[in-house]
Every structure is written in structure tokens, then in C-alpha cells.
Amino acid sequence: MSNAWKLVMLLPRFLSRSYALDKHLFFVTRYSYSLLGLRFEQRTSCWSNCWLLFNFVNLAHCCQAEFVFGWNYLGVSAQDAMDALCPFVFSLTTLFKMALMWRSRKQVAQLMQRIRQLTEQQRSDEQLKRSYYERVTRYGMLVFTMGSTNTTFFVLRSLLEMLLQRRQDFVYAMPFRMQFPAVAHRLPLYPLAYLYSAWSGQVTVYAFVATDGFFFGFTLYVTFLLQSLQQAVARVLHAEQVPTAAQSAACAAQLNVLIDRHNELVRIVRSFSSIMAAPTFIEFVASSLLLATSFIDILLFSGYNILRYVVYALTVSCSIFLYCYGGTEMSAASLTVGEAAYNSHWYLWPRNVQRRVLLLMLRAQRPITVQVPFFAPSRPLFTAIIKFTGSIVALAKTIL
């Protein structure tokens, strides 16, 4: 066996070029939520429902414990209070998104199924399809890895602190700053309480990445469908001479199908917006605060503690960038449909074809976006969030 093949065998299967395309579709969302017991396209069992309930209760309880700890330490130690309240905002946002995805699980499953059907119909663009599918999976799993690494840093921090205190009065610390009952900080319950607290960090990562992966995946899959539609419009309207009556009738029939496809994509995005508008709005508001508090924590802490919040800030930044990147790609692809129709030889076709082309161009003038209150995810919005974060950090630096 060659060294290159051995290296490939060590990598996750989804990184392989031979990985099936149908398995790539919403891979991050399906994989992450399946670890929590939430399945969208499969029948759930009693055990999976019980596991999902436990994970939801675990995350809700640990959110409450983080808030109590941060509130109690506000007047004692700003550093410890920020160390608890920053993960609290992250966990609370994730709890909200997890609850919303569970409530909308049937609609989410229907959207997944419809996107699967529409993408499978585009058999002439396999290379383009694979590029989008692999991009969604790899970028989503990158955030998954960064989030898991961040949780690992918190766990290692607590273990290192306990190791350094072995010659002093030993403190049974938790991986996250949480206010648990005193009995949880004593043997024999301490190991179970520690694992319970550490698992809440992984629940946060799984639900956070799964919801964000659903948004990012959906926008890029729709982008692929819009690009396929653009190419189909260019092919249908291609003509180098005045077409015959039979050719005009065939072109009109094909345009009717393409117009219906475009209208369906608009309806699908509207349905998606009704599900994701609230969590997307909460995500951007919370991420702005999280980035600011993360950089403030970097200013407050020193040594190895800085690594935790560097990874934390990078994870949050990558997450909101994927929102903005996906929204920009989908919006730009929707405009190219009208451009493809305008740049074609539409003027050579008779009036019945020209009317359909005009309707398509008029409809495509309005970009397809995810309707979020007060803003639309885009790259300029990401820049604005970074600038806003920088302003808060500069203000905090002058105060500190």
C-alpha cells in the first residue's frame, strides 16, 4: 500500500473525492444533530427521543449554572464573571436554535427532501455540484472541529488548574464556570458532575454547528440550483439565426419549465426564511457580543488562558462568515439568471418567447435573499460586525 493511500485512509471519509454526493447533502446538520438524538429524515425511536431530551435539559441546566456563577461574581471578580458569562451567551443562543430546529423538524425535513430532489435532477452539472457539496461539508466540519477544540481547551484548563493545586487545598473545579450544588464538588459525585458539565460544551458545539451548517448548506445548494438554471436559460435561448415555428414552440415550452423552477426556488427560500429568520437574527446579535467579550477576555487573561478565547473568537468569526458568505453567493447567483437571459439572443425569437424572457428578467431583478429582520446576511454585514466589535474592544480597553 502506497504512502499516499495510507494518508487518505487516515482522513475522514467525507474528505475523499469518492464520497457519495447524496451523503454530502446536509451532512454536517444530519451528523451533528444525530449525535444529540435529533433526526430529520429518519424515524425516531424512544431511545433517541430520551437522549435528545437529556441533552436539551443538560444544556438548559448548564446555561442556568453559568449565569448564576457569572452574576454572583460580577461584584467579586470581573475576570471570573466574564469567564462564565461569555460561554453563557453562546450556550443560551445555541439552546434557542436547538429548540427552534426541533419545533420545525418536519418543515426542515421537507426542505431537505425537496433540495435533494431538485439537485438530483441536475445531472448535467455533476462537477459543479460536487464542488458545492464538498465546500459545504468541509467548511461546516472546519467549524465543528474548531468548536470541539475550544471545548477541549476549557477541559484542559480545568485539569491543569487542579494539577497545579495538588499541594494546596484541592478545589474540585468544573471545566466551565458553573454554580453547582456543593455536593457536586465533592466525592463521589464529582466525576459525574464534571462529565455532565463537560458534555454540555459538546452539546453546544453540536447544536450550534448543525444549525449554522443548515443555513450555510441551504444557501449554497440553492446557489448551485440557480447557476444550473442560468446555464439552462443560456442553452434554451441560444440561437444564431431566426428560429422556425417548431423551434419557437419548443423554446416557449422549455422556458415555462425554467420559469416554474425559478418560482419554486423563490418559494423554497421563503419557507426557509420563515424557519431561520429568528435564529439567524439571534445568531448575529449574539455573535457581535461574543466577539467583543472574547477579545475583552483576551485582554483580561494571560498565559495559556488566552488560547481558549483566541479559538473561541475564531470559531464565532468563522460561523458568522459562513452565514454572510452563503447569503452573498445565493443573492449574486439569483441576479445572474436575469443576466443570462438578457445576454442571450432573445431578440431573434418571436414575441411569445420574448414575453417569457421579459418575465424571467423582471423576476430575477430582485435578488433572492433570506429574509432576516433588519438585515440580510452578506459580506458587507460581516465587515460591519467586525468594525462594531473593534469599537467595543477599544472602548473596553480605555476603561480597563
Quick: pLDDT tens for 255-279.
999 999 999 999 999 999 999 998 8
Which of the four pLDDT bands, split at 50, 70 and 90, describes residue 289? confident
Q: How many distinct structural domains can be found in the chain?
A: 1
For a pLDDT cut of 70, what percent of the chain falls above it?
91
In terms of residue numbers, what domain contains 219?
23-399
Which pLDDT does position 302 carry in this prediction?
Answer: 62
Q: Answer yes or no: is 123 within a domain.
A: yes
Q: Answer yes or no: is 321 within a domain.
A: yes
Least trusted range by pLDDT, from 63-77, 212-226, 283-297, 309-323: 283-297
Which pLDDT does position 214 carry in this prediction?
Answer: 94
SS3 content of the chain, % helix, strand, coil (to 5): 80, 0, 20
Here the cell at position 227 is 447557476
With contact defined as beta carbons under 8 Å apart, do 194 and 176 qualify?
Answer: no
Which pLDDT does position 3 carry in this prediction?
Answer: 42
Higher pLDDT, 158 or 168: 158
Residues of 86-98 as b/e, b for ≥16 C-beta within 10 angstroms? bbbbbbbbbbbbb
Q: Answer yes or no: is 362 within a domain.
A: yes
Q: Answer yes or no: is 289 within a domain.
A: yes
pLDDT digits (tens, 9 = 90+) for 318-359: 888 999 999 999 999 999 998 888 888 888 888 888 898 898
Q: Answer yes or no: is 7 within a domain.
A: no
Which pLDDT does position 153 carry in this prediction?
Answer: 83
For residue 338, what are the contacts with CB-CB under 8 A and spacing of at least 6? 360, 361, 362, 363, 364, 365
For a pLDDT cut of 90, what percent of the chain falls above it?
34
Q: Answer yes or no: is 282 within a domain.
A: yes
Q: Answer yes or no: is 179 within a domain.
A: yes
Distance of CA 121 to the CA centre of its chain: 25
**CA dist 157 to 153, 174, 236, 257, 303, Å?**
6, 10, 61, 59, 11
Asked whether residue 26 carries a pLDDT value surpassing 70, the answer given is: yes
Q: Answer yes or no: is 3 within a domain.
A: no
Report, as an integer, the average pLDDT of 114-140: 87
- CA 42 to CA 309: how far, in whole Å? 37
Report, as an integer, the average pLDDT of 166-194: 82
Four-residue CA torsion sign, 88, 91, 93, 96? negative
